[in-house]
Amino acid sequence: QKEVEQDPGPLSVPEGAIVSLNCTYSNSAFQYFMWYRQYSRKGPELLMYTYSSGNKEDGRFTAQVDKSSKYISLFIRDSQPSDSATYLCAMSETGGSYIPTFGRGTSLIVHP
Amino acid sequence: KAGVTQTPRYLIKTRGQQVTLSCSPISGHRSVSWYQQTPGQGLQFLFEYFSETQRNKGNFPGRFSGRQFSNSRSEMNVSTLELGDSALYLCASTNPGQGSGYTFGSGTRLTVV
């Protein structure tokens, strides 16, 4: 079992839909949680960054962390075709190696 | 502010050859990490350099090596290339600290034939 599990998709939704992307993890030492977006032929770019449990909102994006369930989510409201990309979750420990462990990424397609 | 720059963008090499990839981090970032990205394995951590020293290392064979220069620029080298080394190699820089987000370059697409 990988430390971080993420459904590769693809996830196809119509424009305007609410998108839910998720990751589960097994390492209870993870304290920092990140979401990256990667467009084709580009490197990943940091979208959201949260510490420990709770919610964080940034525009149309909301990141949720449930440490008790070892489950994190990224919600995209009013999805746009420009949101079509691969979304990778990443997480790192505190007090130990801070090198993040990445999920394999979920491919999202938002069609007009 | 310039981003992370990786050169070259594309490379085609033959099995058994060796290759060197280059990464220039964001100005002021002293930590540089390298990742290998493949469809089957996703992003896998190769190594991290800070102040010219390898600080962390992933689970890759010794054919994969790297170094960092005094200006924080980094290179990675792969010797005796194998077909399975075909991948997107990504460099990321950060200011060290717990959970600091990485800034990635656009990567070098290496194809081994």
Nearest-5° Cα angle at B85, B84 to B86: 90
Q: B42-85 pLDDT, tens per residue?
A: 899 999 999 999 999 999 999 999 999 999 999 999 999 999 99
Q: Locate A110 and state its tokens.
A: 């938002």
The beta-carbon neighbor of A99 closest among B45, B103, B107 is B45
Structure confidence by residue, pLDDT tens digits, B29-46: 889 999 999 988 889 999
Residue A44 to residue B104, Cβ atoms within 8 A? yes
Residue A81, classified by CB atoms within 10 Å of its CB into exposed (0-12), middle (13-18) or buried (19+), is exposed
- Any chain A CB within 8 A of the CB of B62? no
Confidence of residue B16 (pLDDT cuts 50, 70, 90): very high
Question: By the 8 A CB rule, do A11 and A105 touch?
Answer: no
Q: Helix, strand, coil % (nearest 5) of chain A? A: 5, 55, 40
pLDDT at residue A1, rounded to an integer:
63
* pLDDT beyond 90 at B111: yes
Which residues of chain A have a CB within 8 Å of the CB of B105?
Answer: 43
Interface check for A47 against chain B (CB to CB < 8 A): the answer is no
Write the pLDDT tens digit of every residue in A53-64.
889 999 999 999
Using CB atoms within 10 Å of the CB of residue A107, give its burial: 0 to 12 exposed, 13 to 18 middle, 19+ buried.
middle
Q: Does the distance separating the beta carbons of A99 and B99 come in below 8 Å? A: no
